[in-house]
Structure 1
Amino acid sequence: MRSRITPLALLGAVTLTLTLVSCSSSAPESTDDAGATGDGHGAVAGAAEVAEPQLALTAISPDGGVSHLDLLDESTTDLGQIGAPSAMTTDGRYLFAETAEGIDIVDSGVWTWDHVDHFHYYRADPRLVGVVDGAGPTAVATTNLSTTGGTGIFFEDSGDAVLLDTEALSKGEVKERFRLEGDPHHGLVVPVGSFALVSVADDGVGTKVVGHTSDGEPAGVEAECLNPAGTVATRVGAVIGCEGGALLASVEGDQLIIEEIPYPRGTTAPRAMHFDNREGRPTVAALAGDKGIWMLDTRERAWTFLPAPTSLVHVTAVDDEDDSTLALAADGRVLVLDNAGAVIAETEPLVSDSLAAGASPTLIADQQRAYLSAPAEKRLYEIDYSDGARIARTFDTTAEPMFVAETGR
């Protein structure tokens, strides 16, 4: 069962930034002026359009050193130094690292523009973009587009809700579309097309999300969401985790739409707190505490609970033809699970030292490979999850890869 919360009032027509525009399905081998491609293709001046995705692993060490491993030629480049990170979020191009100053932003210089039926691939010079000032733990929410729209940042200690201009980021500028003051709480700012949802608190606890235009004006839309935690962008819309289930936010025409997807009636499993998936795909996965795995199909607006085959520390939905899910076990193994939660392939323990040391290995899935960081082991793994979880490549690192993003996707 699902319910829909429709707009109460809109302050004016707002153009949906995710509207598709017509374009050729074949990308040129390269171009010196990517800006000539025109709006809607993910191009920016000074970037080259290339024939294949420029996949890389961009990593941040405990002291803030940033490195970039090119997965095509296996070369490594040092990108510079930021503040010591305590957390990191990525959209597949930018790394948003939480530091003592706020959010440090790294531009990997590689990205993919998804036109659903085909893609455009770009390469530009990587750079350290700048810092968004703020206090306390942060929650960062991105979209699947790295040259348009917004990026949301919520600062828990101050209650400040910030929407960054992602197009400005693509030009090397840190520009805030809005900064709204609110009550300190564990909150979210979630970009949705030309809008953003901002959590609101009562006595330090988030109780609902309220829609705003990209300029920070009220959009006349809100939905109850007790203790909001966890968000991810999918092809269908933005998912927001709540105490009783999830919200799915999207834009239809010029209207912001929020749908409620409650947990199955009678469920006793813990709620989802952190969602992950192969970028942009409609299905997302989350741990249900230590009880199992929550799978959310945003197309069907339906939850599925899978029993955990062993103790797990992270899961991500591959959302392929086999409905595979990848999981990192507490003993350091990477597991490939079928749609019933059974193990169909597994690696040897790869990150047991990292887990024992309290580090947080990163597990990432793309269409063909999975990537696993091993901070304590100073290693990065490439895993072919469709071929018996075979270790395809291993990369040793000189510094501890505390946080890692697969960029160029």
Structure 2
Amino acid sequence: MNRRVPIALVPVLALSLAGCQSAPAPATAPEPTGDGHGAIAGAAELAEPALHLTSLTAAGEIHHLDLLDETSETLGEITPPTSLETDGRFLYAGRDGGVGVVDSGVWTWNHVDHFHYYEAPAALLGDLAGDGEPTVVASDLGAGVRFDGGEAVLLDLDALKKGRIEERFRLDVPAGPGMVVPLPTGALVTDADRLRHVDAAGAEIETVPCTDPAGSIATNVGVVVGCADGAILAVTDADGTAFERIPYPDGAQARALSFAARESRPTVAGATDGDAFWLLDTRERAWTRIDAGEPLARVAAVDDADQHVVALTEKGEVLVIDGESGKALARTEPLVAASLADPVLAAGVTLQIDANRTYLNGPAENVMFEIDHADSARIARTFEADAPAFVAETGR
């Protein structure tokens, strides 16, 4: 089956795509434009998600692999990236001085109790310029960019859906690392010891104590920001946004530095700089520490019925771990050892998790792996690829 639509290969293209995204809380989910759920100009509604692996080479060439029919095409080229973030539709490719924005043209819209799936022309939307190296936080709520030269930017998600890069705000902030974390309305801008809750225009609403913020993820409960002593959970409903602190258990060591999970699930995995990792259940407001017994390069929570967690060892093996007992259920042979041995390539090696599969890229091995985490980490498919330095699963 071939669902191909034309690819728009232009640096900046205004698309008439009023497609919608899911949100962590049903109360904040946007409604689609048009006369009905399928009446979105420029997009076709599908019976199933148009899942793709969108990969970037170190030189900035973008490849789009259809996971249904295994056809691949080149979308174009952007400035060579050093990082990549995605919300499942848009790709944000960062490098010193800017962020290249790509619309993959495939996405899923969450209608609370069911989903709608869309495909439209992919496009290279252009570039967001800034001072220094960018840190991007992207979710269905939008994208925030913190340039370490001292600029904080919140992008306009509605404009992105129409093919335009527009800023909701750009604030001067202290130079150095930090984040701009999108909320259903406004964002959180991190400082060294606090989170500044700002509205969509960048005006400060309130501050929330948070020492050494690091890592953020959106769940179906709320938005998480990691702090030295635990996490802040921002929960938004019709009455506004409330902030809850989820402290680590007494005596906890080695805090979570980043978070990863299947999209919109309540339980997320927090990677540390040691052998252990954390599971944060945002519904129960509880942490669980799991000692893997060996150094891990990546970890992500599947949060399925069997509480699977997928991890990548520093040797390049993929582990499937029982999230309740901490027991390793399955282990692959080393798949991306050469990539992890190269510090530059290792920075782009990621685990992409959905309900049924885990995807892993090996830029040195010139391959992308599809792994069935529910079937003893079986290698379901391998895809030859031209040095996939970064990869994102799109259409989810």
**TM exceeding 0.5:** yes
How many Å separate the matches in 2 of 1:319 and 1:349? 24
How many Å separate the matches in 1 of 2:306 and 2:39? 33
| Residue equivalent to 2:54 | 58
Over 3 Å counting, the alpha-carbon distance change for 1:259 and 1:43 in structure 2 is farther
Which residue, out of 247, 260, 273, partners 1:276? 260
Residues 252-331 of structure 1 correspond to what in structure 2 (within 5 A)? Answer: 252-267=237-252, 269-331=253-315
Structure 2 SS opposite 1:354: helix
Q: Which amino acid aligns with 1:58?
A: T
Residues 7-22 of structure 1 correspond to what in structure 2 (within 5 A)? Answer: 19=27
How many Å separate the matches in 2 of 1:22 and 1:213? 18
How many Å separate the matches in 2 of 1:304 and 1:264? 9
Residues 147-166 of structure 1 correspond to what in structure 2 (within 5 A)? Answer: 149-158=141-150, 160-166=151-157
Kindly provide the CA deviation profile for residues 68-107 of structure 1, in whole angstroms up to 9, marking residues without a partner as x: 0010111111011101111111111111011233110111
| Residue equivalent to 1:10 | none
Residues 9-408 of structure 1 correspond to what in structure 2 (within 5 A)? Answer: 19=27, 35-38=33-36, 44-143=40-139, 145=140, 149-158=141-150, 160-200=151-191, 206-219=192-205, 221-267=206-252, 269-339=253-323, 340-358=325-343, 359-360=345-346, 361-397=349-385, 399-408=386-395
How many Å separate the matches in 2 of 1:260 and 1:170? 33
Q: What's the TM-score, normalizing by structure 2? A: 0.89
Structure 1 SS opposite 2:127: strand
CA contact 2:82–2:95 (8 Å) conserved in 1: yes
How many Å separate the matches in 2 of 1:226 and 1:325? 28
| Residue equivalent to 1:8 | none
How many Å separate the matches in 2 of 1:101 and 1:125? 28
| Residue equivalent to 1:7 | none
Q: Tell me, which stretches of 5 or more residues in structure 1 are unaligned?
A: 1-15, 24-33, 201-205
Q: In the TM superposition, what is the alpha-carbon distance from 1:162 to its structure 2 partner?
A: 0.6
Q: In the TM superposition, what is the alpha-carbon distance from 1:197 to its structure 2 partner?
A: 0.9
CA contact 2:106–2:120 (8 Å) conserved in 1: yes
Structure 2 SS opposite 1:142: strand
Alpha-carbon RMSD? 1.9
Moved more, 182-191 or 272-281: 182-191
How many Å separate the matches in 2 of 1:169 and 1:42? 19
Q: In the TM superposition, what is the alpha-carbon distance from 1:199 to its structure 2 partner?
A: 1.4
How many Å separate the matches in 2 of 1:73 and 1:246? 41
| Residue equivalent to 1:3 | none
Q: In the TM superposition, what is the alpha-carbon distance from 1:346 to its structure 2 partner?
A: 1.5
Structure 2 SS opposite 1:344: strand
CA contact 1:152–1:161 (8 Å) conserved in 2: yes
Structure 1 SS opposite 2:158: helix
Structure 1 SS opposite 2:256: coil
Kindly provide the CA deviation profile for residues 20-39 of structure 1, in whole angstroms up to 9, marking residues without a partner as x: 6799xxxxxxxxxx85355x
Q: Which amino acid aligns with 1:223?
A: V
Over 3 Å counting, the alpha-carbon distance change for 1:313 and 1:72 in structure 2 is same
CA contact 1:336–1:344 (8 Å) conserved in 2: yes
Q: Which amino acid aligns with 1:156?
A: D
How many Å separate the matches in 1 of 2:301 and 2:74? 31
Kindly provide the CA deviation profile for residues 340-399 of structure 1, in whole angstroms up to 9, marking residues without a partner as x: 2211012111111111223222111100011010110000010111111111111001x2
Over 3 Å counting, the alpha-carbon distance change for 1:128 and 1:256 in structure 2 is same
Q: In the TM superposition, what is the alpha-carbon distance from 1:174 to its structure 2 partner?
A: 0.2
CA contact 2:25–2:222 (8 Å) conserved in 1: no
Q: In the TM superposition, what is the alpha-carbon distance from 1:116 to its structure 2 partner?
A: 3.0
Q: Which amino acid aligns with 2:302?
A: V
Structure 1 SS opposite 2:45: strand
Structure 1 SS opposite 2:75: strand
Percent identity, aligned pairs only? Answer: 48
Q: In the TM superposition, what is the alpha-carbon distance from 1:163 to its structure 2 partner?
A: 0.7
How many Å separate the matches in 2 of 1:138 and 1:69? 27
Kindly provide the CA deviation profile for residues 32-85 of structure 1, in whole angstroms up to 9, marking residues without a partner as x: xx85355xx597421111110000000010000011001011111101110111
How many Å separate the matches in 1 of 2:30 and 2:364? 47
Kindly provide the CA deviation profile for residues 172-211 of structure 1, in whole angstroms up to 9, marking residues without a partner as x: 10010111111112111111111211113xxxxx111111
CA contact 1:90–1:405 (8 Å) conserved in 2: yes
Q: In the TM superposition, what is the alpha-carbon distance from 1:167 to its structure 2 partner?
A: 1.1
CA contact 1:186–1:229 (8 Å) conserved in 2: no
Over 3 Å counting, the alpha-carbon distance change for 1:167 and 1:316 in structure 2 is same
Structure 1 SS opposite 2:27: coil
